[in-house]
Structure 1
Amino acid sequence: MTPPSFQHLTPEALDEWLTADAPLTLVDIRDPMSFANGHIPGSRHLDNDSVPALLEASPRAQPMVVVCYHGHSSQQAADWLAGQGFSRVYSLDGGFTEWQHRHPDRVER
């Protein structure tokens, strides 16, 4: 069994990166309505239609953080994105649900 090609990222670590204004690509793979109802500031919604633009425009060496509902689906997406040549891909532990619980002041609607 091959090890995952992505890493796990805690909400605390992401909060530190955002506070430091670290360059990163933040993608949210939840459904469009959930994304519209609240998301992490600076994130972009990613679905099958927007993947080609992401692949074309995002720097491969810049950290990419994938967000889903609870931190499960994002692992599969992160693994796939790492396979597309992104070298530093992370799955947000606990997903948006945990983020919103820990950082309600850092949710954009």
Structure 2
Amino acid sequence: MREFIGRSQHDSAGLEGRQVVLTGFVSRGGGGVDWHLNRLTVNCCAADARPLRVAVHGAGVAPAADSWVQVTGRWRAGAVDARSPVPHLDVLSVTAVPAPRNPYADRAPELAS
């Protein structure tokens, strides 16, 4: 998720038209956002935890809050608000997944072969 967020802000041309797969836990949306996909990253200890968040659109009913899901979607160009730089994703599919063994490690999702 960290890479997707960084590219959406600094190298967005590389995201245009591409499908991305992100894994995280669900939280409520607001302000026209259906819901948010989230991860927390920790560098040293809980005191330095940093949230990573992506606004999700088009999935119909949002999954249950705090549930873990894998989302396949496409970056929504031009939707980032400079005051709150959260990238937006138009969803193609949502799949419930178990919480990862280490929910604070932001690793790419494992895809079925």
Using the size of structure 1 for normalisation, the TM-score is 0.29
Q: Please identify the structure whose Cα radius of gyration is greater.
A: 2
Q: Which has the higher strand share?
A: 2
Q: TM-score, normalised by structure 2?
A: 0.28
